[in-house]
Amino acid sequence: MWVTAIVLGVASSLHCVGMCSPLMLAVTTNSSRAIYNRLAYNAGRIIMYGVLGMLVASIGSLLPIQRYQNVVSLTLGAAMILIALLQINVTRLNYLTSIAAPVTVFLKQQFAFFLKQRNYFSVTFLGMLNGLLPCGMTLIAMTNCLVLAGPIDGFNFMILFGLGTLPAMMGFATLLMIAIKKCQLNFRKITVALIGVSGVLLIVRVFLHAGVEAHATGRDFADIVLCR
């Protein structure tokens, strides 16, 4: 599951290159403390991801989802593989954009206010606001938290997701784009491929968990219980 978080983070970082990286650079440049501001900004962003993961995992633990954990994992995995095969751009879904529009407007207003401050607290808070910006990749990662054991696992999952986006958000976006162009790769295709890999990992997780249970109980084979 933790590998899935990092893979999703790396996939999301390619999207961050075009969407969130310019916003971060606008906040943290024009200062002799640019590197410290970037660290503070990304710390706030990643912490917010962790908080969101904790909330989603808490909701998942309160609902009867845990009883159907294998079904949810298989469904999410199949959906992500389908997204990869059809090359659906999850960052530009019309219905998601329309629902998220009021939230985006509100967050932009808050950005304008705190952007004037330019101290470590305001920069960290701006990073936290960035973590709240509606994003299809973040939504996919948060959905994974529904099948986790509890809020701590949800927090850790989203922290790892955030760390997967860190290289691009720390200013290595240009180097990343040069490497992609030099290898003649399409970053959108790379993104959907990584989403597909995450889907495969979700499905494999179910079978690995069944194997662990079989080993723990001393049985040669463990049924994969879909519903309990």
Question: For the chain, what percentages of helix, strand and coil (3-state, to nearest 5) are there?
Answer: 85, 0, 15
Query: What residue type is 80 in one-letter code?
Result: M
The DSSP call for residue 146 is G
Assess if residue 228 is contained within a domain: no
Task: For residue 75, tell me if it sits in a domain.
Answer: yes
Greater model confidence, 38 or 176: 38
User: How far apart (Å, rounded) are the C-alpha atoms in residues 4 and 209?
Assistant: 15
**Distance (Å, rounded) from C-alpha 130 to C-alpha 141?**
16
Residues of the domain holding 180: 2-217
Flag whether 224 is in a domain. Answer: no
User: Tell me: the pLDDT tens digits for 56-111?
Assistant: 999 988 877 767 778 888 888 898 888 888 766 655 554 555 666 677 777 777 77
> Which pTM does this prediction carry?
0.75
Quick check: is 120 in a domain? yes
| 108-162 tens-digit pLDDT | 777 767 676 667 788 888 889 888 887 778 888 898 898 888 899 999 999 999 9
Position 102 scores a pLDDT of 72
Structure tokens at 150: 């509890």
Amino acid 82 reads L
Asked whether residue 223 is domain-assigned, the answer is: no
Q: Of 84, 76, 90, 85, which Cα lies nearest the Cα of 205?
A: 76
Kindly tell me if the per-residue pLDDT of 31 is higher than 80.
no
Tokens of 40: 């503070």
How far is it, in rounded angstroms, from Cα 64 to Cα 169? Answer: 37
Is residue 226 domain-resident? Answer: no
Residue 141 in domain = yes
- Please indicate, yes or no, if residue 104 is contained in any of the structural domains: yes
CA–CA separation, 81 and 92 (whole Å): 18
Element (H, E) at 16: helix 2-18
- Give, as one character, the DSSP assignment of residue 88: -
Q: How many domains does the chain have?
A: 1
Query: Are 90 and 83 contacting, i.e. CB atoms less than 8 angstroms apart?
Result: yes
